Amino acid sequence: MTVASPVPDHILPGCVWDHDFASFLAEGDDPYLAGARLHERQGPGLIWATSAAHGGPAWIFTHNATVEEGFADFTKFSSKRSANMAVMDDAWLLLPVEADRPDHRFYRGALHPFFTPSAMARRNSAVQELCDQLIDGFIERRSCEFISEFSAILPNAIVISLLGMPQDMLHHFLAWEEDIIHGATIDARRAASESVLEYLKDFIAHGPENELMHGIRSGMVAGRPFSAMEVLGTVYLLFVAGLDTVNSTLGWIMNYLAKDQALQQRLREHPELIPAAIEEFTRAFGVSAPSRTVAEDMVYHGVPMKKGDPILLPTFIAGRDPHAWPDPHRIDIDRRARHVTFGRGPHVCLGVHLAKREMRIMIEGFLGRMKNIHHPDGGRRDYHTTNTIGFDRLDLAWDPA
Ligand code: HEM
């Protein structure tokens, strides 16, 4: 066995898993089935991966129940960034996601009013119009490359409009994001992140102030105003939280629907079932693996852990846990699954109502305007397993409705 990084003394030998997590997920042709192989291991579903987050070692929680505890129990699991997880400069945090209580409440409180179900309902027509326009662009062709022509654009355009940025920034952002995810070298990827950061700094300093930006700029934490770094960390998080996650989820939903004509037809005839379908899709197609660090030395479900140990909570493995759902790889929109794809507890996703609205409007738009959506012969379905689990390319075809 080749150990990628030295195993600390406190790790039980039975917990050591000497693999590179991203490469393990990329084995075969379905990353969800690849990840679910971890459920075949005996024990509490707590493994010490020698190469997990950004190549460093970390605990990976695999059971749905422990992933849920990892999210919700902030006394055992801290959201502060660990050195192993660092992709950003240490001087600032992504807020509110990398803050613990009590400060977390202030950071989240500054954003909360802008992400309630009623605030999101007011965005409905903007999401609907954009979705219609994007579909108009390819409907007559009877085929599209779903990622570059739809799912990468929709969430970007929405976040740009939420923050009041000029819509002509869309193409710059798409190009930068492409480089952040697929840049040929680490330097190319870092340079693209820097470009986004520089733009955001300039936008914060000189850009127009809509309600959301006003809320962030006038945020208060424990009686003092947000520092410049806290404003930047909040705006940057909003930017990254709602792009890749939505893009990837929309991709997995359409990839699945293209294989299940019966479900397409059922949802066309009964659009009132679309919210239940979204719950089941999001259970089965979690895309992110948020991180935590162990807050204090402890023995957790019989496993010793040390303060500062990094942890990953892969929602795409938790959602396929056979201990939690019978036949977890089967999509069953009647099962009413309660899942952790949007997190749980104090940090539960603030953008969940927006994300679900984007999913619903997309499903209604595609199913309403197209019949027999399918994977064309010879079409491509390329995906990545680093950062989020998402598509790089997804070819779709259909018949006119
Ligand atoms: C399908 C799409 C999405 C998924 C799967 C998703 C998933 C998640 C998860 C798992 C967390 C918890 C992270 C943690 O506990 O460390 C989270 C937090 C968060 N999400 Fe989302 N998200 C999605 C879309 C969005 C959108 C569209 C936005 C906003 C534009 C957004 C904004 C946030 C914010 C601000 C937080 C931090 C909340 C806090 O720390 O209190 N998300 N998301």
d(CA 160, CA 165): 5
Written as six digits, the tokens of 31 are 């990353």
Q: How many residues does the chain have?
A: 401
Give the integer Cα–Cα distance in Å for 66 and 45: 8
Identify the residue whose C-alpha is closest to ligand 1 atom 18.
Answer: 349
Rounded distance from Cα 286 to ligand 1 centre (Å): 12
The number of the ligand 1 atom at minimal distance from the alpha carbon of 291 is 16
**Probe ligand 1: pick from 349, 350, 363, max atoms within 8 Å of CB?**
349
User: Does ligand 1 lie within 6 Å of residue 349's CB atom?
Assistant: yes
Of the candidates 86, 84, 103, which has an alpha carbon nearest to the alpha carbon of residue 95? 103
Kindly report the CATH class assigned to 13-164+208-400: mainly alpha
Contact between 200 and 232 (Cβ < 8 Å): yes
Return the residue whose CA atom lies nearest to atom 29 of ligand 1. 351
Distance CA(346)–CA(101), nearest Å, equals: 9
Q: Of 245, 247, 293, which is best to mutate to test ligand 1, by the most ligand atoms within 8 angstroms of its C-beta?
A: 245
Q: Where are the domains of the chain?
A: 13-164+208-400
The CA 240 to ligand 1 mean position distance, Å, reads 9
Residue entry with tokens 């995810």: 181
350 lines ligand 1 (CB under 6 A): yes
Cα(67) to centroid(ligand 1), Å: 15
> Is there an atom of ligand 1 within 6 Å of 236 CB?
no
- Per the CB < 8 A criterion, the answer to whether 266 and 300 are in contact is no
Q: How far is C-alpha 275 from the geometric centre of its chain's CA atoms?
A: 19
How far apart are alpha carbons 147 and 33 in whole angstroms? Answer: 22
| pLDDT tens digits for range 85-144 | 545 566 788 999 999 999 999 999 999 999 999 999 999 999 999 999 999 999 999 999
**pLDDT for the residue 179:** 83
Strand partners, 17: 49
Tell which atom from ligand 1 comes closest to the C-alpha of 158: 30
Q: Which residues pair with 99 in a beta bridge?
A: none
C-beta of 293 in contact with ligand 1 (< 6 A): no
Indicate if ligand 1 lies below 6 Å from the C-beta of 71. Answer: yes
Name the nearest CA neighbour of 294 among 11, 4, 89, 6: 11
Residue 13 alpha carbon to ligand 1 centre in Å:
34
Q: Which residue in this structure is represented by tokens 């603030």? A: 350
Residues 196-207 pLDDT 10s: 889 999 999 999
Write the CB contacts of 171 (distance below 8 Å, at least 6 apart in sequence): none
CB of 244 within 8 A of CB of 176?
no
Q: How far does residue 288's CA lie from ligand 1's centre (Å)?
A: 9
pLDDT, tens digit, 9 for 90 and up, residues 304-327:
999 999 999 999 999 999 999 999
Question: Are residues 300 and 11 in contact, defined by beta-carbon separation less than 8 angstroms?
Answer: no
Q: Model's pTM, two decimal places? A: 0.96
Task: Write the pLDDT tens digit of every residue in 258-294.
Answer: 999 999 999 999 999 999 999 999 999 999 999 999 9
259: Cα separation from own chain's centroid: 23
**pLDDT at position 2, please?**
47
